[in-house]
A and B are shown apart, each in its own frame.
Chain A
Amino acid sequence: MKRPSTLTMFSWLVRRDLILAWRRRADVLATLFFFVIVVSLFPLGIGPEPQLLRAIAPGIVWVAALLASMLSLSRIFGNDYQDGTLEQILLTPQPLFLVVLAKMFAHWLVSEIPLVLVAPLLGVQFGLSENTLATITVSLLLGTPVLSLVGSVGAALTLGLRAANVLIALLVLPLCIPALIFGAGAVDASVNGAATQPWLLLLAATLVVSFVFAPWATSAALRISLE
């Protein structure tokens, strides 16, 4: 039998995860609606003053995106772990680094991209200008991969543990603080009419650093969890 190339393997894995996600659309939608509901709760809790809402919108959208992605993290490896697929995937001759990257990419497409698409709509609720809405989209586009990358480390470490969901949030949220600061900082700068570029560049740098380290750490964590 011919061994599939690494690139074929990558696209197979991504396609498989996308099909699985499509068959369980409700899971993806639940995360999305959680995001929408959390963001909409803040004006109800704080009050409808437009000035105040505009000031806190960047932080709210970003924190809610962070919390919403925590919900979906345990699904990156969880289902595959339970039905034994993950063990089979680990046995393939392709580098684990690549497998992990494919899983992260699929998670980003399935769970994070919907958040990015909906976020500008929520920004309209907070009375943000078009410029700021564009910044929200760009900052989330750069920042959500960081959440997928760092989050998968936590997901791999907590595989099959009791209360894994809470534990993931406990492990991953502190590590995501730089992405939160840079992402929300960019949107904040845009609200105040300052330059957003430095924040976005820092966010991109965070993405590069986590792209280098996270797949490696996740592979190591997967091997540890499945030993």
Chain B
Amino acid sequence: MSTKKIHWYKYAAPANFYPLAGKMVPWFTGVTIILFIVGLYLGFAVAPTDFQQGEAYRIIFIHVPAAWMGMFLYVLMAIYAGIGWAFNARLGSMMATAIAPTGAIFTFISLVTGALWGRPAWGVYWVWDARMTSTLILMFLYIGFISLQSSIDDPRRSDRAGAVLALVGLINIPIIYFSVQWWNSLHQGATIRIASKPTMAPTMLASMLVLLAACWMYSIAVVLVRVRCIICEREREAPWLAGAAA
């Protein structure tokens, strides 16, 4: 359609991506800060108090975006790792390695905030609810990926082994999710249900979506910084890096 073409593949080379990422980081950081301020203001000052749960419900403004990010980032990580493996694109594998810690942290945050929310809402920190259990297993998968990669010294092997593991995990995630759900319905009567979802006030929804966007922007900024570090580490012998650092 447009006559002007950008050569996107150019940025698959670490030498070209490194300066581009460097330029993008401040922008994403800025947007992250603005979105966090707006979202937290909406969530904690504007949104009305929930008549069932009181003020404690406000933790969902962190909890829900963190849980979504934990899942999205795993899929994204597996896709990048798969691209890196299939097309021999180093940058794809580096992105996967860079995404893993952020995804693990978001999964951890969603578990912790879920526990803190569960205490006032249900009276206990932890129940073996299907969703909580599968989030916990998702965190185990992240930990497996990170520890496999960090115990292999050769970067080429580490990238590819990680890709196999991430893709096997990706196939397994739906199976794990359904198995946990059936297991849960077998063992647990209808004692606690998260599913009872009252309709949300528009300001609640708005602040949650703004914070979700903030979490996305944060993830992008952090992943770009981390991928720049990984590029520096792996390409330390390359002559272009000496020029870029100067």
Using CB atoms and an 8 Å cutoff, list the residues of chain A in contact with chain B: 153, 157-158, 161-163, 167, 170-171, 173-175, 177-178, 181-182, 185, 188-189, 202, 206, 209, 213, 217, 220-221, 224-225, 227
Given contacts A157-B165, A177-B179, A188-B186, 13 further A-B contacts (CB under 8 A): A157-B161, A157-B164, A158-B148, A170-B144, A177-B137, A178-B175, A206-B175, A213-B168, A221-B164, A224-B157, A224-B160, A224-B161, A225-B157
Task: Scan residues 151-178 of chain B and give those whose CB is less than 8 A from a CB of chain A.
Answer: 151-152, 156-157, 160-161, 164-165, 167-169, 171-172, 175-176
CA of A173 to CA of B175, assembled, Å: 14
CA of A185 to CA of B179, assembled, Å: 10
Smallest CB gap from B169: residue in A: A175
CA of A173 to CA of B140, assembled, Å: 9
Contact of A181 among B147, B151, B165, B180 (CB under 8 A): B180
CA of A189 to CA of B171, assembled, Å: 27
Taking the closest CB of chain B, its distance from the CB of A173, in whole angstroms, is 8
CA of A209 to CA of B179, assembled, Å: 14
Taking the closest CB of chain A, its distance from the CB of B137, in whole angstroms, is 5
Smallest CB gap from B158: residue in A: A224
B46 interface contact, C-beta 8 A: no
B183 interface contact, C-beta 8 A: yes
Whether B144 lies near A225 (C-beta < 8 A) is no
Smallest CB gap from A172: residue in B: B144
Whether A174 lies near B182 (C-beta < 8 A) is no
Smallest CB gap from A189: residue in B: B186
Q: Encode contact with A along B32-54: 1 for CB under 8 Å, 0 otherwise.
A: 00000000000000000000000
Taking the closest CB of chain A, its distance from the CB of B117, in whole angstroms, is 25
Q: Which residues of B contact A185 (CB under 8 A)?
A: 182-183, 186
Smallest CB gap from A209: residue in B: B175
Q: Which residues of A contact B140 (CB under 8 A)?
A: 170, 173-174
Bin chain B's interface residue count: 20 to 34
Q: Which of B168, B169, B171, B180 has the most A CB atoms < 10 Å from its CB?
A: B168
Whether A181 lies near B161 (C-beta < 8 A) is no
Taking the closest CB of chain A, its distance from the CB of B9, in whole angstroms, is 25
CA of A202 to CA of B156, assembled, Å: 37
Smallest CB gap from B181: residue in A: A181
Q: Which residues of B contact A171 (CB under 8 A)?
A: 144, 148, 165
Whether B172 lies near A217 (C-beta < 8 A) is no
Q: A158-B148, A167-B148, A224-B157 are in contact. Are A178 and B164 (CB under 8 A)?
A: no
CA of A73 to CA of B211, assembled, Å: 44
A-B CB proximity, top 8 nearest? A178-B179, A174-B140, A224-B160, A171-B144, A181-B183, A181-B179, A157-B161, A178-B175
CA of A221 to CA of B152, assembled, Å: 13
Whether A175 lies near B157 (C-beta < 8 A) is no
A–B complex contacts, Cβ < 8 Å, 29 sampled: A153-B164, A157-B164, A158-B151, A163-B151, A167-B147, A167-B148, A170-B147, A171-B165, A173-B140, A174-B137, A174-B141, A174-B169, A177-B137, A177-B179, A178-B172, A178-B175, A181-B182, A182-B179, A185-B183, A202-B182, A206-B175, A209-B171, A213-B171, A217-B167, A220-B164, A221-B161, A221-B164, A225-B157, A227-B156
B127 interface contact, C-beta 8 A: no
Q: Which residues of A contact B157 (CB under 8 A)?
A: 224-225, 227
B124 interface contact, C-beta 8 A: no
CA of A161 to CA of B137, assembled, Å: 24
Q: A153-B164, A177-B137, A224-B161 are in contact. Are A161 and B176 (CB under 8 A)?
A: no
Q: Which of A161, A163, A167, A171 has the most B CB atoms < 10 Å from its CB?
A: A171
Q: Which residues of B contact A188 (CB under 8 A)?
A: 186
Q: A161-B151, A178-B179 are in contact. Are A225 and B161 (CB under 8 A)?
A: yes
B143 interface contact, C-beta 8 A: yes
CA of A206 to CA of B147, assembled, Å: 26
Q: Which residues of A contact B147 (CB under 8 A)?
A: 167, 170
Whether B176 lies near A178 (C-beta < 8 A) is yes
